[in-house]
Amino acid sequence: MDKEAFRKRCIQRFMRRRYGQDKRVIKNLALILDALNASDILAFMPMSHEPRLLGYFSKLKLKKNIYVPFMQGESFKMVKLRLPIKKKQYGIKEPPNSFFKAKIDVAIVPVVGVDGDFRRIGFGKGMYDRFFESLRYRPVVIFVQRRLCATKKIVSDPYDIQGDFLVTPKKIYIRGDSHVGRDFSRKFCRHYQWRCRLLALKKDRKR
């Protein structure tokens, strides 16, 4: 199975909408964010197939600095989450344009799928890849999915974003060699064993 075949399989799975699961995603995501105590967070404006977290992000911005993508060419810049919100290219919702340069602690990123190297498989536009490549630092990366779609095989490319956590309605998956992930696992997963799962990485990149 290659990257494109895996992407198509995942898209078929998540097109079966399960809005009732979004509250569970929020519960698991909040557990990580509370533990990390991050103050500057890159969130996202959900598309129809992605977890509906806008209400949660709006509440979170009362005590945190919440940013979302604003499309620019083949990538995006960060803008503060605020009203009004309008639908733009590819059906993506965006707040008003603004200039704001910030260093984020955490990035919450929607995924189509995750492979054996804990890397993001998206729609193939490459916008997140270009954005993260432009950063001179690495924030903690939290992937979110409404329904788990993952493979033990490595189908990603080296430039695809690698996550520290993957949040689904049922579990929090943690990348095995992520220092922040392992620290979270030691402190919190003993109390929430049914929610946490530590994933070891594959050692090769055979396709």
pLDDT in tens, the chain (207 residues): 899 999 999 998 877 666 678 999 999 999 999 999 999 999 998 887 888 998 999 999 999 999 988 766 666 678 887 654 555 555 555 455 555 567 899 999 999 999 999 999 998 877 888 889 989 999 999 999 999 999 999 999 999 999 999 999 999 999 988 999 989 988 888 776 667 888 765 545 544
Site of tokens 């929020």 = 26
Token reading at 152: 């033990």
Token reading at 14: 């998540």
Percentages of the chain per state (helix, strand, coil), in multiples of 5: 30, 25, 50
List all residues 6 or more positions away from 16 whose beta carbon is below 8 Å from its beta carbon: 147
Token reading at 72: 């620019």
Cα gap 41→67, rounded to integer Å: 6
Cα gap 145→51, rounded to integer Å: 7
Res 200: pLDDT:
66
Res 206: pLDDT:
47
Res 118: pLDDT:
96
Contact indicator for 163, 114 with CB cutoff of 8 Å = yes
Token reading at 68: 């979302």
How long is the chain?
Answer: 207
Res 84: pLDDT:
47
Res 176: pLDDT:
87
Contact indicator for 116, 202 with CB cutoff of 8 Å = yes
| Sequence spans of domains, the chain | 3-192
Homologous superfamily of 3-192: NagB/RpiA/CoA transferase-like (3.40.50.10420)
* Beta-sheet pairing, 172-175 with 165-167: antiparallel
Site of tokens 């270009």 = 130
